[in-house]
């Protein structure tokens, strides 16, 4: 691949303002091209791009196109930075009026150097707000698509679409469906702005000559008009890749833009310690319909404030994943200590969850056409969610990690919508780590609060996700939770139900249909605040589950907790895969008695504090 840096523009506005600046602070810059304006630490604007593309493993050659008026400046720059002087091309223009235009400048390089390779084109006098991005990722995405590539970003506050080339992009295919050069207000709702940063296939280079033959006037030879023609008229396949950061010093800019850029990079260079990003995700209880979420059923679940996982991300020089001192032990008091910890908590802590989430995040962004900056970080986690009792502790760590990564890399809800985010978290666990799991936990931890979920086959096949509806959390009754202090592996509870469901066993299929019916009835009970009816439905949910999973599969510990709760007239069911029970007792006095009984039986008991995101100022992020 070949890279072409375009710096042939005539920066008349900036040059005029520098020349006329009454402070005298910038008089020494009079006549200096915009791309060679000094920055921080002796770096010039063009230096950032040269450092980015000066990689022989990616580019066989790098060319630079300038004008006759500024050629000597760039020649001097080249000798100082080891840029090959012979690769500087002079387009012969000396003023704004006799400029060739950006497309003609690129065509000049292709024609004069007889280039027959794919080309990356970059305006060398602009900058990303964060220049440290992975250009290799851009090239990989370009080569994965059957067409050209346009880099774009979301307009920042204060930027007007009428000053940019705006693109409309298909979310699924990433194909650019329309290009509008500096559109008038109301022409498009898109806020996706293109900059001169493109990848063009060798077979498309000939189109430039055809375009230029139709554009005798220089003003029509900008890349904006070229892409309008190529995409809107010629219907060529052009794809978009997003940089999750803005751009600065685009096109004709003034002295204030330059000083703003200086301030931005000065702040970064001062080495001010970045503020850590800390995010939480909460444990959940399945209140109705589970475990039908993995079988095209319906469920209602709720996040609870009693237990959570918290992940902290801090920008650092290298990427570090910090083991948790309790959950990822590497030192033990004795062999017996190792035996006891391993028997109770298993062998797998949370470190693998952080690593798998990071791996999947990079993979997702690469596939979705999001070019990430090359920033490193340290990740550490903490959690108080009891292990192996079916409260979605693993997915809470994954969910909190994903929140941190999205915030760190400026990935928005548009880039990773909530329904897709839930699928992402499930894929981390099932595809990367082979953890038995369903969608319910990931959905409720993404949406947070009390959520109704419909996983019907029709919805899942059409959209790839179900219908997820937040529910009213006002005036909820006092749900309670109890769990075994010494649980077995909760994943065992799924047994052979999936195989039986896939084979079409009528008993299982009918049970999953019935779970969905119970969930719809429970949704009505929540709406009407009919807690007596909800008590009945929760008990029916457990008995239905018991009928298909059998007592042997449910295990004596779970059954003991269920029977104990029923002695006090409480509704009770499993909130997850096993190891805990959730219930609803409407008699306050009996609730107190039941707590004591569970504690005497060696179980941990608590009254649930629902986590309501609308009542939290931080919405799960701290």
Distance separating alpha carbons of residues 15 and 465, to the nearest angstrom: 54
Q: Is 441 a catalytic residue?
A: yes
Tell me the CA distances in angstroms from 602 to 74, 94, 503, 557, 599, one per residue in order. 78, 86, 40, 11, 5
Q: How confident is the model at residue 129 (pLDDT cuts 50, 70, 90)?
A: low
**Which of 1.20.1250.20, 3.40.1440.60, 3.90.550.10, 3.20.20.140 is the CATH number of 2-145+194-220+248-269?**
3.90.550.10
Peptide bond into 291 cis (omega under 30): yes
Q: Is the pLDDT of residue 492 over 70?
A: no
Distance separating alpha carbons of residues 326 and 188, to the nearest angstrom: 53
- CATH class as words, domain 278-615: alpha beta
335 or 97: which leads in pLDDT = 335
Distance separating alpha carbons of residues 255 and 261, to the nearest angstrom: 10
Q: Which of 83-92, 421-430, 608-617 has the lowest mean pLDDT?
A: 608-617
Q: What is the largest CA-CA distance in the chain?
A: 93
Determine which one of 47, 125, 441, 539 is catalytic: 441
Supply 462's token pair: 């059409």
Q: Is the pLDDT of residue 409 over 50?
A: yes
- Cβ partners under 8 Å of residue 233, min gap 6: none
Q: Could you report the per-residue pLDDT of 386-398, keeping only the tens digit for each?
A: 988 999 999 999 9
- pLDDT value at position 597? 97
Q: How confident is the model at residue 493 (pLDDT cuts 50, 70, 90)?
A: very low
- pLDDT value at position 462? 93
Q: Is the pLDDT of residue 143 over 60?
A: yes
- pLDDT value at position 250? 66
Q: Could you report the per-residue pLDDT of 295-333, keeping only the tens digit for each?
A: 999 999 999 999 999 999 999 999 999 999 888 888 889
Evaluate whether 280 touches 384 at the Cβ level (below 8 Å).
no
Distance separating alpha carbons of residues 556 and 560, to the nearest angstrom: 6
User: Exposure pattern of 77-104 as b/e (b: 16+ CB <10 Å)?
Assistant: bbeeeebeeebbbbbebeeeeebbbbbb
Q: How confident is the model at residue 442 (pLDDT cuts 50, 70, 90)?
A: very high
Q: Mean of the pLDDT values across residues 507-513?
A: 96
Residue for token digits 């444990």? Answer: 283
- pLDDT value at position 614? 85
Instruction: Give 302-326 as a DSSP string.
Output: EEEEEEEEEEEEEEESS-EEPPPTT
Q: Is the pLDDT of residue 142 over 60?
A: yes
Q: Could you report the per-residue pLDDT of 317-376, keeping only the tens digit for each?
A: 999 999 998 888 888 899 999 998 888 777 878 999 999 999 999 999 999 999 888 889
Q: Mean of the pLDDT values across residues 524-528?
A: 97
Evaluate whether 299 touches 286 at the Cβ level (below 8 Å).
yes
- Cβ partners under 8 Å of residue 546, min gap 6: 554
Evaluate whether 354 touches 311 at the Cβ level (below 8 Å).
yes
Q: What is the mean pLDDT of the chain?
A: 90
Q: Which of 19-28, 302-311, 449-458, 584-593 has the lowest mean pLDDT?
A: 19-28
Q: Could you report the per-residue pLDDT of 259-306, keeping only the tens digit for each?
A: 877 776 666 555 566 789 999 999 999 999 999 999 999 999 999 999
- pLDDT value at position 345? 76
Tell me the CA distances in angstroms from 579 to 85, 479, 554, 557, 567, one per residue in order. 71, 17, 9, 7, 19
Supply 556's token pair: 């004596």
Q: Is the pLDDT of residue 494 over 60?
A: no
- Helix 393-408 vs helix 351-367: angle between axes, to the nearest 10 degrees? 50
Q: Mean of the pLDDT values across residues 569-587?
A: 95
Q: Which DSSP state fits 275?
A: P
Q: Is the pLDDT of residue 227 over 80?
A: yes
Q: How confident is the model at residue 212 (pLDDT cuts 50, 70, 90)?
A: very high
Q: Is the pLDDT of residue 619 over 50?
A: no
Instruction: Give 462-490 as a DSSP string.
Output: HHSS-EEEE---TT---EEEEEESS---G
Taking the CB of residue 446, how many other CB atoms lie within 10 A of it?
26
Q: Is the pLDDT of residue 190 over 50?
A: yes
Q: Where are the domains of the chain?
A: 2-145+194-220+248-269, 278-615
Q: Is the pLDDT of residue 490 over 50?
A: no
Evaluate whether 359 touches 432 at the Cβ level (below 8 Å).
yes
Q: Is the pLDDT of residue 617 over 70?
A: no
Taking the CB of residue 186, how many other CB atoms lie within 10 A of it?
6
Evaluate whether 265 touches 128 at the Cβ level (below 8 Å).
no
Evaluate whether 139 touches 120 at the Cβ level (below 8 Å).
yes
Q: Is the pLDDT of residue 130 over 70?
A: no
Distance separating alpha carbons of residues 302 and 298, to the nearest angstrom: 14
What share of the chain has pLDDT > 70, as a percent? 94
- pLDDT value at position 272? 60
Distance separating alpha carbons of residues 86 and 63, to the nearest angstrom: 9
359 or 23: which leads in pLDDT = 359
Q: Mean of the pLDDT values across residues 444-450?
A: 97
Residue 545: Cβ-neighbour burial (10 angstroms; 0-12, 13-18, 19+): buried
pTM of the model: 0.85
Residue for token digits 């931080």? Answer: 618
């Amino acid at each position: 691949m070949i890279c072409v840096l375009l710096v042939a523009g005539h920066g008349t506005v900036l040059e005029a303002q520098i020349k006329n600046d009454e402070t005298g602070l910038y008089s020494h810059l009079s006549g200096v091209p915009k791309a060679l304006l000094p920055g921080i630490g002796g770096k010039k604007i063009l230096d950032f791009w040269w450092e980015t593309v000066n990689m022989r493993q990616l580019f066989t050659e790098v060319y630079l196109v300038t004008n006759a008026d500024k050629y000597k400046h760039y020649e001097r720059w080249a000798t100082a930075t080891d840029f090959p002087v012979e690769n500087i091309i002079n387009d012969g223009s000396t003023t704004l009026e006799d400029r060739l235009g950006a497309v003609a400048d690129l065509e000049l390089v292709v024609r004069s150097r007889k280039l027959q390779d794919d080309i990356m084109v970059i305006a060398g006098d602009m900058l990303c707000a964060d220049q440290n991005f992975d250009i290799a990722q851009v090239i990989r995405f370009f080569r994965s698509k059957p067409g050209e590539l346009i880099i774009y970003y979301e307009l920042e506050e204060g930027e007007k679409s009428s000053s940019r080339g705006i693109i409309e992009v298909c979310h699924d295919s990433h194909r650019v469906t329309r290009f509008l050069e500096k559109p008038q207000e109301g022409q498009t709702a898109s806020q996706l702005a293109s900059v001169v940063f493109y990848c063009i296939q060798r077979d498309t280079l000939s189109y430039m000559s055809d375009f230029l033959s139709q554009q005798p006037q220089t003003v029509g030879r900008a890349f904006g008009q070229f892409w309008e023609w190529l995409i809107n008229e010629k219907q060529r396949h052009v794809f978009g890749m997003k940089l999750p950061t803005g751009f600065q010093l685009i096109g004709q800019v003034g002295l204030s833009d330059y000083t703003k850029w200086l301030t931005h990079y000065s702040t970064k260079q001062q080495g001010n310690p970045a503020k850590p990003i800390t995010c939480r995700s909460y444990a959940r209880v399945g209140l109705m319909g589970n475990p039908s979420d993995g079988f095209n059923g319906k469920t209602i679940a709720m996040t609870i404030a009693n237990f959570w996982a918290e992940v902290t991300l801090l920008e650092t020089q290298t990427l570090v994943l910090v083991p948790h001192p309790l959950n990822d032990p590497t030192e033990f008091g004795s062999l017996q200590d190792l035996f006891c910890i391993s028997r109770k908590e298993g062998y797998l802590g949370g470190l693998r969850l952080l690593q798998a989430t990071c791996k999947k995040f990079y993979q997702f962004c690469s596939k979705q056409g999001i070019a990430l900056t090359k920033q490193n970080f340290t990740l550490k986690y903490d959690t108080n969610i009891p292990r192996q009792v079916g409260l979605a502790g693993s997915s809470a760590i994954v969910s909190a990690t994903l929140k941190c990564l999205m915030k760190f890399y400026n990935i928005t809800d548009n880039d990773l919508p909530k329904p897709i985010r839930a699928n992402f978290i499930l894929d981390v666990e099932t595809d990367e780590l082979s953890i038995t799991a369903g969608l319910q936990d990931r959905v409720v931890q993404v949406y947070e609060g009390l959520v109704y979920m419909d996983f019907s086959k029709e919805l899942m096949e059409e959209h790839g996700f179900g219908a997820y509806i937040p529910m009213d959390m006002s005036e909820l009754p006092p749900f309670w939770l109890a769990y075994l202090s010494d649980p077995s592996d909760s994943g065992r509870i799924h047994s052979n139900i999936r195989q039986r469901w896939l084979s079409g066993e009528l008993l299982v299929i009918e049970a999953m249909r019935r779970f969905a019916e119970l969930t719809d009835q429970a949704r009505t009970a929540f709406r009407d605040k009919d807690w007596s009816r909800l008590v009945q439905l929760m008990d029916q949910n457990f008995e239905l589950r018991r009928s298909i999973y059998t007592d042997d599969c449910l295990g004596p510990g779970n059954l003991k907790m269920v029977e104990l709760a029923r002695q006090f007239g409480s509704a009770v069911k499993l909130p997850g895969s096993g190891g805990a029970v959730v219930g609803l007792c409407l008699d306050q006095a009996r609730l107190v008695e039941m707590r004591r009984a569970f504690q005497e039986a060696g179980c941990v008991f608590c009254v649930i504090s629902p986590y309501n995101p609308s009542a939290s100022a931080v919405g799960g992020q701290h």
